[in-house]
Each structure stands twice: as structure tokens, then as C-alpha cells.
A = this chain, B = another copy of it.
Amino acid sequence: MSFNRFRCIRSAAANGAKALQYRSSAIGRRYISGDAPKVLPDIEPSRLEVTRTNTPGELPPSSQLLFGRTFTDHMIRVSWTEAEGWSVPRIEPFGTINLNPSATVLHYAQSLFEGLKAYRQPNGTITMFRPDMNMKRMNSSAQRLALPTFDGAALTEVIKELVRLDKNWIPKEPGHSLYIRPALIGTNGLLGIQPPSEALLFVICSPVGPYYPKGFKPVPLYGTTEYIRAAPGGTGAFKLAANYAPGVVAQKSAAQAGYVQNLWLHGPEHYLTEVGTMNLFIVLKGSDGVVELVTPPLDGMILPGVTRDSVLALARNHVAGTKRLDGLPEQIKISERPITMAEVISASKSGQLVELFGTGTAAVVCPVDKIGYLGSDVHIPTGPDGMGPISKPLWKELVGIQTGVVESEWNVVV
């Protein structure tokens, strides 16, 4: 029955544009073969089909690179149907995604994505940073939307092929990288709201320059109480398309008030949750002089960020003595716990607030210098070069790993 539909799409291509006519429905179709359920194919890297572009592009000069504006020559496409499972993975020239106007991604946001980076190491090797974490989260997001899951290690192999094919698009300058954007969308052309019976996984890549070409620049946050990013029972812990568009007006309103990002506050207690599209860390100095590194817990509202996890792991390794980091105090209390604006303000007033920063794939670490909150500004200390005393050694180690200066099993060779 899919056949009819795809025949129509092909005829559409021939005519330029034409009716997609669903003569029959894919709803409720299941493959039944005797008593044994058929095991449907997963993503299979050994079956990869590659079609190279005839018109390769050229990497623009570093000065012209802006996040997510330039894309490489090729992309991955793997389609899925409820009846047939995952198709053969394909690497093809970068090109349009052609959807039925009734495709569920367009109407109901059946869509999720990931973001990770590939780095060119000093010795020429190309590595990706912790792709297993992205694959795990991508599958978790897929389950939350009743979209199909897949073998993350298999997709990683296909992504490696794509990165190898487009490796000339990874800039050679230090601090540059290739941003990799996998996405999974529901493509059924049926307006009923239900689990998609057809989906498309695709991956595109964009060369990016350093986040801080001119040194760290702390950002002022707007403590947002009018808009939310997430709520209990919602989707804040998943990397869903649906979590992002609603934040745009909040960001605009923060910008109009003179701030750069939203600090998303939750509940009447104004718990700090995230910063813009980053996780959040707060550093406090206790009355005993011990430094506490606080980040909100993964309570269902917080995105389980790869950089968040990496910062926590580096800090824990330092404290455990597995891998000491220069510049950090020997003892650090590491807390995944809720924290309110009242506590941050009190710490700021008493001089016990050491620093506050966001973490994410793009910036790695983003220092904060103030929070506009209920009409006044809460001052946040920042170090002489813009970054605080705890985040800086963590940032240095993390960037060292990503760029190959520090060896780590987190780097996966492409």
C-alpha cells in the first residue's frame, strides 16, 4: 500500500507537482507472517549506498563561518516504515526533503534532533566527541514521541562515512569543527494524531568556527518567569523540536530588555533550570570554605546534556584523584540538586557566589555576569579573562580533549 503512495510521489516528480493520492491507508498495518513476528531491519552500515555529488562546493574562509548556515556536500538519509523497518542507509548529495503537505512533522512537530561535533586533531586524525551519548539521547527522544528507535552504534558508523567523505569541509584552523546535525521526523501524510507509520532520519553537517574568537564574553541572563521551557510531565528532558520554537519570543523579549539569554525559572520557588538552550552550573563557596559545584538534577525537566555530563565527570575524576586538573581546589562538593533564585541571591549578597555558567555543545562553557530578576540585577562574579576559577580548568580540559591536546576515550576516531 505504500507502493501506491510512492508511485504517486514519483509521478509528482515527473509533473513538477501533483496529487498524492492515498488510495489505501497505512494505519494499523502490521507485518504478520505465521505466528512468528518478523524481525524488521535496523540501520545496517554494511548496506550503505553512497551517491557522490557532481558539483562539490568549497569551504568558505573561516571569517565567513556562521553556525548552521553553510552545509557540506553530502547528507545521510535513512527512511523507516512500520511495515518494513529501516531502509538501506544512503549518503547522497545535500538536497531538499520533499514532504507530503499533510506530513505529521509539519502539523504536529513529530521531530527530534541531536547536535555533536567532529574535530580535526593536530596529527590530522578526525574524531567525534562522545557520539554514543547523542545516539542514546536520540533514541530516548524517539521513544518519547513514539517515533522508531534504532541501533545508535550503526548510525554512528554511517555518520563516520559521511564525515570521511566530507572531511575537506572541516576547517583546519584551531578551535574550528564540523557540527553534525542528525534529525528524525514523522513523514506520514495522514492528519490523524497518532504514532507515525513512516519516518525519515537524516544527518547534515555544517563547518563552524570557534565560539569565542575574541576571548570569553560573559553574558547577562534574563530571569524568565512569564514563559517556560519545560514543566513536570512535559518534554524538557528530551531533545524534541517542540521544545525550541516556543522559546523564540522569550528570547526576543529578553533581548529587548537588554539581556542575551533566558534563565528559565520553574515554579513559585523560581528554581533555576536551564540557560537559553544550555544546561546550567552554579558555583558556591560554603561557610567552611569548600566549593560546591551545583547543577539542577535530571528530574524530567532538564536536558541530559553531553557537556553537562562531561563537566560532572571531569569534576568527579578530579575529586576522586583519577585525573587531577590544574587550578581546581582539591576538594569540591559536586551536587545535582535543585537551587532557587533566593539561594543564588543570598549567596551573591554574602560573597559566597563564585560563578555561574552554561554548558552546551556550541559554547562548551558560557560564563554569566548578571541575572536580571524581578526588576533588578543580581551580580555574578567573573574572572579577569571573563571565565570563573572553577569553569576555566574544566573548560580547558574539555576543549583539550576535544581538540586532541589531551588524550581521552571520549574521542571516537572517524
List residues of chain A with CB under 8 Å of any chain B CB. 1-2, 4-5, 7-9, 11-13, 15-22, 25, 27, 53-55, 57-58, 60, 64-71, 73, 75, 92-111, 113, 143-146, 179, 181, 183, 185-186, 190-195, 202, 204, 206, 225-228, 231-235, 240-249, 251-252, 277
Contacts and interface: CB of A to CB of B under 8 A. Distances in A.
7 contacts: A2-B69, A11-B53, A15-B54, A69-B191, A97-B99, A107-B244, A193-B244
- The oligomer's copy count stands at 2
A34 B31 CA distance: 65
Contact of A106 (B57, B67, B105): B105
B181 A20 contact: no
Contact of A71 (B20, B95, B226): B20
Given A99-B99, A234-B228, A67 B18 contact: no
A179 B191 CA distance: 11
Contacts of A70: 1-2, 4-5, 21-22
A11 B92 CA distance: 11
A4 B225 CA distance: 41
Contacts of A66: 25, 27, 192
Q: Is the interface of A mostly helix, strand, loop or mixed?
A: loop
A145 B248 contact: yes
A111 B109 contact: yes
Contact of A244 (B5, B8, B103, B109): B109
A305 to B, nearest CB: 16
Nearest to A244: B108
A195 B252 contact: yes
B57 A8 contact: yes
Contacts of A227: 233-234
Nearest to A95: B12
Nearest to A26: B69
A232 B268 CA distance: 11
Nearest to A51: B15
B110 A245 contact: yes
A241 B244 contact: no
Contacts of A103: 97
